């Protein structure tokens, strides 16, 4: 399937991966390198990134006592994403800013699609409408097994499974489907995706990610 052209003046980079893959650490490292190279950078995350998105994030992740059908999850994620794209991402891209977004449409395809079994073509249609067709220029996949990622998350946050959010608390089989889903999505659009081994040292991961970003910056004609 071909992807709609999303090119605007800035550069739109998304970070994807299973739980505990180190996306937020990598986001901060990339933002620092971009800024050191004279680029304006916006680092944001999903679900969230706007006042409305932050409220929806809490409902979706933390209110585990609420039954939340996977399709309802996808539609709430779509609402949060619409607000983020309209209020934050598009204005930033128009002004030449590099946008780094921790999770975006591919998380919905991986989690609600591959993880929960919703039809990918339906999710793609919803997300095309929600984002008005805005796709990333580059997607970095931080690849790690669910066993390692969840153990890492537990160590870092010092949380017990009873405190995990709705998705962290899913079964290992679910998380394996999510990871396999990421591999399938990346294989479908190799021109947009770069896979990074998230088990490497964070500095190695950051250096490889920076290499991929630099290549896109060279192709990107927008001024710093
Ligand atoms: P978060 O605590 O930000 O986890 P992480 O550090 O792994 O990003 O929680 C976000 C959770 O929301 C994560 O478990 C994945 C899930 N999610 C979806 O299921 N679908 C989506 O479209 C998005 C954006 C997130």
For 112-144, write each residue's pLDDT tens digit. 999 999 999 999 999 999 999 999 999 999 999
Q: What domains appear along the chain, each with residue ranges and CATH number? A: 11-219 (3.40.50.300)
Q: Ligand 1: which atom is nearest the Cα of residue 20? A: 7
pLDDT for 78 beyond 70: yes
Q: Considering just the CA atoms, what is the radius of gyration of the chain in Å?
A: 17
Task: Say if ligand 1 is within 6 A of residue 181 CB.
Answer: no
Compute, in angstroms, the gap from residue 159 CA to the centroid of ligand 1: 17
Mean pLDDT rounded to a whole number for the chain? 92
* DSSP state, residue 65: T
Cα separation, 118 vs 121, whole angstroms: 9
- Supply the pLDDT for residue 2: 42
Task: Say if ligand 1 is within 6 A of residue 48 CB.
Answer: no
Task: Say if ligand 1 is within 6 A of residue 77 CB.
Answer: yes
pTM above 0.85, yes or no: yes
* 175-184: average pLDDT: 97
Ligand 1 pocket, mutate which of 167, 168, 170, 179 (most atoms under 8 A from CB) = 167
- Supply the pLDDT for residue 120: 98
Q: Return the residue matching tokens 């290549």.
A: 215
């Amino acid at each position: 399937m071909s992807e709609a052209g999303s090119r605007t003046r800035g550069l739109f980079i998304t970070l994807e991966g299973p739980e505990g893959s180190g996306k937020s650490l990598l986001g901060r490292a990339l933002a620092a390198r971009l800024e050191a190279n004279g680029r304006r950078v916006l680092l944001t995350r999903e679900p969230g990134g706007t006042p409305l998105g932050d409220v929806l994030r809490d409902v979706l992740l933390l209110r585990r006592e609420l039954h939340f059908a996977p399709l309802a999850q996808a539609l709430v994620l779509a609402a949060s994403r619409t607000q983020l794209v309209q209020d934050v991402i598009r204005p930033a891209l128009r002004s030449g800013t590099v946008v780094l977004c921790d999770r975006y449409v591919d998380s919905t395809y991986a989690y609600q699609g591959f993880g929960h079994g919703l039809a990918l073509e339906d999710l793609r249609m919803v997300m095309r409408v929600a984002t008005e067709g805005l796709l990333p220029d580059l997607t970095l996949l931080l690849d790690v097994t669910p066993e390692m990622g969840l153990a890492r998350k537990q160590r870092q946050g010092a949380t017990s499974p009873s405190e995990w959010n709705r998705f962290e608390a899913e079964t290992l089989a679910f998380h394996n489907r999510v990871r396999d889903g990421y591999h399938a999505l990346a294989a479908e659009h190799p021109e947009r995706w770069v896979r990074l081994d998230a088990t490497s040292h964070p500095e190695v991961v950051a250096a490889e990610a920076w290499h991929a970003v630099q290549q896109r910056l060279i192709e990107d004609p927008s001024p710093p």
